[in-house]
Amino acid sequence: MSADVETSLRAPQAYELARTALAAMETHKVWPTALNFELWVHYVAAKDSPLGAEIDQMLEANEPFTDAVGETLAAKFLPKQKLSSEILDTGDALSKELDSVTRAIVSARESSEAYDQELANASESLAGEDTGKIKSMVETLTQATQRVRQENQTLESQLADTTAEVGRLREHLEQTRREAMTDGLTGLANRKSFDEALEHACQQAEAEGGTLSLAVLDIDHFKAFNDTWGHQTGDQVLRYVASVIGRFGDAPRTAARYGGEEFALIFPGETARAALAMLEDIRLEVASRVLKRRSTNEDLGAVTLSAGLAERHAGEGPAALIERADAALYASKRGGRNRTSAADPIAAEAA
């Protein structure tokens, strides 16, 4: 699918594809963000593709095409989105290989130094003995070892240069990893980073018999807010909410933008009772501030959050934990919004 679409986008029919994609997006009430536009261009250009089949299935079921849906489809089908994951995997493999090469070179140098020392000791021990041929042989070997030592010194110099370059590459790789694992708008962990962190936290909790809690948070009526004030102001709200949530996300916790206007907090080693108190602090702080539109200084009013919380059960994996936290979130929505709900009755009593 990708190659055909890329060819089409470089042909005269590209403008027609773009107009068709925008018309389809308007028909189905899909916001024309850059990511959504790219997805729908691929969709109209290749409706018989796996991406086309998935979008068709959504449309037939009258499912809303949200930002979270767009991000999930992009990660699954768009080549550039897949590339970021491949970069991370390749970078890890490269780093391990460079470590292996460096250790091998250092080991060779140490072995050569030890051999040189042994020959020198042998030569000294033969001094004064009637072993001319043996001593001559050892001296010849010693000279050969000295040449090896000189070569090793050259190799060490090259190794130092290589090590410096590897350091620069690793720094660049780490920066790339941070960017690939960070949500560009809010600066929080992105969905991929969240998935990895939750998987690790569940495995650790299972292995150690520890506690783990997960919270999902959603900005109330955010679509209506975007419709009224526009996406730029909506982004301003997302950044503000993320800044509040992020203050509670210091390691070992993870604060993430889960998708669209939805956020998540992972609490390794913490009970739902403890996490619930922090969620209430976040909710109250967000609701307490009257926001202003930067461009015009107009009052936007206050935004509120609904939250759901679940404490991991023994043997429970990430998907089941997310499902229970989501159910608690929807309980908050049904209960009137601007509140926190917990999945388990015991945790709920702590509220």
- Angle CA 39–199–328, to nearest 5: 80
97 catalytic per annotation: no
Mean pLDDT, residues 18-29 taken together:
87
Which of residues 126 and 117 earns the better pLDDT score? 117
φ, ψ (nearest 5 deg) of residue 262 = -105, 140
- Mark out the alpha helices in 190-300 (DSSP H runs): 191-208, 222-229, 231-246, 272-288
What 3-state DSSP class applies to 191? Answer: helix
Q: With cut-offs at 50, 70 and 90, classify the pLDDT of residue 18.
A: confident
Which helix (DSSP H) or strand (DSSP E) does residue 165 occupy? helix 132-180
What total number of domains does the chain contain?
A: 3
CATH value at residue 196: 3.30.70.270
| Domain shared by 225 and 315, yes or no | yes
| Domain shared by 241 and 210, yes or no | yes
| Domain shared by 147 and 235, yes or no | no
Residue 159 forms part of a structural domain: yes
The pLDDT of residue 349 is: 45
Q: DSSP secondary-structure letter at 290? A: P
Residue 185 forms part of a structural domain: no
Residue 101 forms part of a structural domain: yes
**Cis before 318 (ω within 30):** no
- Domain boundary residue, one of 27, 55, 77: 77
| Domain shared by 201 and 344, yes or no | yes
Q: DSSP secondary-structure letter at 11? A: S
Q: With cut-offs at 50, 70 and 90, classify the pLDDT of residue 348.
A: very low
| Domain shared by 71 and 89, yes or no | no
pLDDT in tens, 75-113: 777 765 554 555 556 566 666 666 666 666 666 666 666
The one catalytic residue among 38, 71, 261, 270: 261
Averaged pLDDT score across all residues of the chain? 81
| Domain shared by 105 and 64, yes or no | no
Measured CA to CA, the distance from residue 105 to residue 116 in angstroms comes to 17
Q: Report how far Cα 229 is from the mean position of its chain's Cα atoms.
A: 30
Q: Where is average pLDDT lowest: 25-29, 231-235, 345-349?
A: 345-349
Measured CA to CA, the distance from residue 290 to residue 99 in angstroms comes to 52
Q: Report how far Cα 299 is from the mean position of its chain's Cα atoms.
A: 35
| Domain shared by 196 and 328, yes or no | yes
φ, ψ (nearest 5 deg) of residue 49 = -85, 165
Residue 35 forms part of a structural domain: yes
| Domain extent for 261 | 191-349
Residue 172 forms part of a structural domain: yes
φ, ψ (nearest 5 deg) of residue 266 = -105, 130
The pLDDT of residue 90 is: 58
| Domain shared by 101 and 57, yes or no | no
- Domain boundary residue, one of 77, 98, 122: 77
Q: If you write DSSP's letter for every residue of 103-118 in order, what string do you get?
A: HHHHHHHHHHHHHHHH
Burial state string for 23-35 with b = 16 or more CB within 10 A and e = fewer than 16:
ebbeeeebbeeee
Residue 73 forms part of a structural domain: yes
| Domain shared by 231 and 326, yes or no | yes
Answer whether 0.85 is exceeded by the pTM. Answer: no
Residue 49 forms part of a structural domain: yes
Assess contact for 94 and 173: CB atoms under 8 A.
yes
- Domain boundary residue, one of 155, 180, 205: 180
Q: Where is average pLDDT lowest: 18-27, 75-84, 282-291?
A: 75-84
From 62, 69, 54, 76, select the one nearest 27 (Cα to Cα): 62
| Domain shared by 94 and 162, yes or no | yes
CA atoms within 13 A on the CB side of 185: 20
Which helix (DSSP H) or strand (DSSP E) does residue 10 occupy? none
The pLDDT of residue 205 is: 96
The pLDDT of residue 181 is: 83
Q: Where is average pLDDT lowest: 125-134, 224-233, 320-329?
A: 125-134
Q: With cut-offs at 50, 70 and 90, classify the pLDDT of residue 36.
A: confident
pLDDT in tens, 232-274: 888 889 999 999 999 999 989 999 999 889 999 999 999 999 9
* Torsion angle of the four alpha carbons 188, 190, 210, 203, in this order, in degrees rounded to the nearest 10: -160
| Domain shared by 64 and 13, yes or no | yes
The pLDDT of residue 103 is: 67
| Domain shared by 139 and 34, yes or no | no
Measured CA to CA, the distance from residue 182 to residue 222 in angstroms comes to 22
Cβ partners under 8 Å of residue 337, min gap 6: 220, 221, 304, 306
